Structure 1
Amino acid sequence: MKETLAKEVQQTIERGQALNLIDVRELDELELGHIPGIIHIPLGLLEFRMHELNKNEPYVIVCRSGGRSGNATRFLESQGFDVSNMVGGMLAWEGEVK
């Protein structure tokens, strides 16, 4: 499983580079704060909504601490997607929050 640090994600965004970020937390968690522009697909719905994703694009998966996003990353990877888990999740995030 590929992993990326929250700081690396933040630096990429701050350089103005586009990233496909997917937040797999529940809606109530998302409303407490999320990375601007992130795609929200709760972990429990990922299997049913993965058709919305493009296998030709890379994605970074985010959750609260990195556990659920790790599960989501392994699942999407097994389905042929190019995905990375953001280690530490939103607890490690120091960038802008909406």
Structure 2
Amino acid sequence: MDQSPDLHAVGKRQLYSHLPTSNFIFPRPLTPPTCSFTMPSQKTFRTKRILAKASRQNRPIPQWFRLKTDTKIQYNAKRRHWRRTKLNI
């Protein structure tokens, strides 16, 4: 039979106790993650239309809408930051 230790019976801390602990289980990347797809300068009409719709949707709600009587919406929950959240197009 196989003599390897059972991972459920032995904790990770005991299993890797002989190794250095700094950044071993969750190593950090040396460079920030970059998008594998870069946007071409000559976009297709479909891509340009999707980008235009996304830029229209990415705005705060109007102030007069907050002042309405029966609304509970205070902000745009689907707001997107250009660097943090990508569109995946």
- Scaled by the length of structure 2, what TM-score is found? 0.24
Q: Which has the larger radius of gyration?
A: 2
More helix by share: 1
**Structure with more strand by fraction:** 1
